[in-house]
Amino acid sequence: MSKGELLLKRSSQYIDFMRYGLSSWFSEALKSTGWKPGLAADRAWSWLPSQCAICKVWPARAVCDECVAAFAQPVHRCPRCALQRPSASAHCPECLTDPPPWHDALTAVSYQWPWVDLIAQFKYQAQPGWSGTLASLMHSAPGVEDALAQGSLLVPMPMHKLRWAERGFNPALLLAQHLSPATTCADVLWRVRHTPAQRSLPRSERLKNLEGAFQLDPLKTHLLRDRHVLLVDDVMTTGASLRSATKALLAAGPASVSILVLARTERPGTAKN
């Protein structure tokens, strides 16, 4: 390895550490003192030199424009469940026979590489700084800007207090705050029952697992009445959690409830973006 190649490799490793490793370590250290990640903490790291987490080019944004263009291209999706479809406005057969309780569903990307890895860093490796980059992807998705422009009330998918204490932050809340801090309503919907992680359960047990898991704050239901509500989450797999949360929201009489997720798990065999 030449001196130039060695210097490039070490520079890349330094940038990786400064952008991700150091922020992760710092977040963990502060979390032990009771500090909770948020937008201010996220922005505190924005001055650090960055390397694209996908193609490793530097200096660049956390995900460079070329990788966004390559891996986050809009595709035709079912308007109700956001699964990929062969043509625009084509509803899934399942949505025609058994439509979900929400009005429509929007997503930025499919839950595939490279987004699977980045979302895992965000959610499970104490890296809340990813929220700004990932929220930008959501904002650029078809239909999202219009939904935000009509003054939709953003309700992040709530976490039970035990899971929040374990993770240190709510990913859905950080995403919603980046999308529209002025219209994010974080405490109108509660998760009152601690349940096993949905990803650990087969599809048939997911809805049963969520019975009675969500409840509205009775003192704040008036905030939802006659409003367009955008329920925000990071990933939609079967949609069981979103179905249960939507039904709880509809009890307050909103004008509509729509879904906005960062990533959508596709059916097996679906072509990658």
Q: What is the three-class DSSP state of 235? A: strand
Q: What is the mean pLDDT of residues 203-232?
A: 86
* pLDDT surpasses 80 at 165: yes
Terminal-to-terminal C-alpha distance of the chain: 36
Dist. CA 132–CA 39, nearest whole Å: 8
* CA 230 to the chain's CA centroid: 13
Name the amino acid, one letter, at 184: T
Instruction: Supply the pTM of this predicted model.
Output: 0.80
- Residue 77's contacts (CB-CB under 8 Å, 6 or more residues apart) are 83, 84, 85, 105, 107, 264
- Give per-residue pLDDT as tens, 39-87: 555 555 555 557 899 999 988 889 999 999 999 999 999 999 999 998 7
CA 77 from centroid of its chain's CA atoms: 18
Of 170, 180, 179, nearest to 38 (Cα)?
170
> DSSP for 148-165?
HHTTPEEEEPP--HHHHH
Q: Per-residue confidence at 13, pLDDT binned at 50, 70, 90? A: very low
Residue-wise pLDDT for 152-164, tens only, equals 999 999 999 888 8
CATH of region 74-264, choose from 3.40.50, 1.20.120, 3.40.190, 3.30.420: 3.40.50
Residue 19 has pLDDT above 50, yes or no: no
Query: For 180-234, where are the alpha helices, taking DSSP H only?
Result: 203-209
